[in-house]
Amino acid sequence: MARRPPPVGSGLKGRCPECGEGLLFAGFLRFAHGCEACGADFRDEDAGDGPTVFVIFIVGIFIIPMALAFQLITNAPTWLTLVIWTPIIILVCLGLLRLLRGVMFNLAWTHKAREIRNNQIRQNQKQTPPQ
């Protein structure tokens, strides 16, 4: 078995967590159904809400204060600040979201973190005898 690529590196590049060659994304933010290079199946995997939380923290801590500082330093009208910074904030959010979705997907795949589904919980309840 080939050695897996480092998850953060392959996630930032948007590559398959198993081989590091195939594309992870089928669209800008949508995951592919599987890897075209090694055949890994991505259909049951998801990065969840984790990437969104990190995007909110990063943008809220670094980008929003930059917009506020712009307005305070330049004494620009509010409409001008909104016209300039709204597209910047949207583009930064989308760019970070793609990068972080790739990284978190790769980390979850590498560490075998799986989302527990309702049918798995029911199966476990059936297998565990009542006490």
Binding site for Zn ion (CB under 5 A): 16, 18-19, 22, 35, 37-38, 40
CB of 36 to Zn ion, least distance (A): 8
Contacts 24+ apart (CB under 8 A), 71-76: none
CB of 3 to Zn ion, least distance (A): 13
If the CB atoms of residues 12 and 93 are measured against Zn ion, the closer one turns out to be: 12
Run of H or E residues at 92: helix 78-110
CB of 34 to Zn ion, least distance (A): 8
If the CB atoms of residues 38 and 92 are measured against Zn ion, the closer one turns out to be: 38
The separation between the first and the last C-alpha atoms of the chain, rounded to the nearest angstrom, is: 43
Residue 25 φ/ψ, nearest 5 degrees: -105, 140
